[in-house]
Amino acid sequence: MVQRIEVPAREGRGALVQAGTRFRAVDVEGKQCGDVFAFCAANPSEFASAEHTRVSCGRLFPRIGEQFVTNLRRPILTIVEDTSPGKHDMLVAACDPTRYQLLGVQSWHASCQENLQKVMSEFGRADIEVPQPINVFTNIPVLGDGSLDWRPALTRPGDSITFRAELDCYVVLSACPQDIVAINDKNPTRMALEVLDG
């Protein structure tokens, strides 16, 4: 491992990685969802796109060996390993301040949208769109009647998912601060972003 970036509970962190670099999102304590984003370093208006990826892989979420593509339909990430139970989501938007207002929160509440914007601002890239995330470890099954169910993550402490970057890109991991619905078992905890190649 080249670098382990601790992601405190409810916060986000990122790294600039080169094509060919593997990196890993780790659920350190278990039952924690992470929002993963990837933006092309050369042109951050090109980013990992959930809707284009669903078309590309013909599934709701890629399997090991399959790729996430950008809004220009170019491969940007490949899943190379997954030690988690394999429940991930690519259907729901990042949580944001309005989401928490609508859930009845009266004061400021951390969100994956603000975490992403803060990390990208620190990279000097404040002008990004907020794409639909790659919601790792997020257990929101589609039920038989078409409805979504917001269930706690099934991850155990130390579970991880490993990606390989196919383009030079900024990758961001937000430890989702959602504590109103049950996806983090109402107890948001820390994560880690491990860069595996130099």
Q: Which is nearer to Zn ion, 167 or 175 (CB)?
A: 175
Which tokens go with 116?
Answer: 């992403």
Rounded distance, CA 85 to CA 193, Å?
Answer: 19
Q: Is 153 in the site for Zn ion (CB under 5 A)?
A: no
Q: Which is nearer to Zn ion, 56 or 139 (CB)?
A: 139
Kind and range of the H or E run holding 69? strand 67-69
Query: In 3D, which of 196, 197, 198, 194 has the Cα closest to residue 28?
Result: 194
Alpha-carbon 141 to chain mean position = 17
Q: Which is nearer to Zn ion, 80 or 91 (CB)?
A: 91
Who contacts 1 (Cβ-Cβ below 8 Å, separation ≥6)?
194, 195, 196
Q: Which is nearer to Zn ion, 53 or 115 (CB)?
A: 115
Q: Which is nearer to Zn ion, 79 or 153 (CB)?
A: 153
Q: Is 136 in the site for Zn ion (CB under 5 A)?
A: no
Print the binding letters for residues 87-106 with Zn ion: x by CB under 5 A, - otherwise: --------x-----------
Query: In 3D, which of 47, 69, 71, 48 has the Cα closest to residue 58?
Result: 69
**Which positions from 170 through 189 interact with Zn ion, judged by CB under 5 A?**
176, 178
Q: Which is nearer to Zn ion, 79 or 140 (CB)?
A: 140
- Taking CB under 5 A as the criterion, the residue among 28, 48, 76, 112 binding Zn ion is 112
Q: Contact region for Zn ion (CB under 5 A) — 19-27, 74-82, 150-158, 169-177? A: 169-177
Rounded distance, CA 131 to CA 51, Å?
Answer: 10
Rounded distance, CA 19 to CA 60, Å?
Answer: 25
Q: Contact region for Zn ion (CB under 5 A) — 10-18, 43-51, 108-116, 157-165? A: 108-116
Q: In 10 A of CB 145, how many CB atoms?
A: 5
Rounded distance, CA 3 to CA 27, Å?
Answer: 16
Q: Is 128 in the site for Zn ion (CB under 5 A)?
A: no
Site residues (vs Zn ion, CB under 5 A): 95, 112, 176, 178
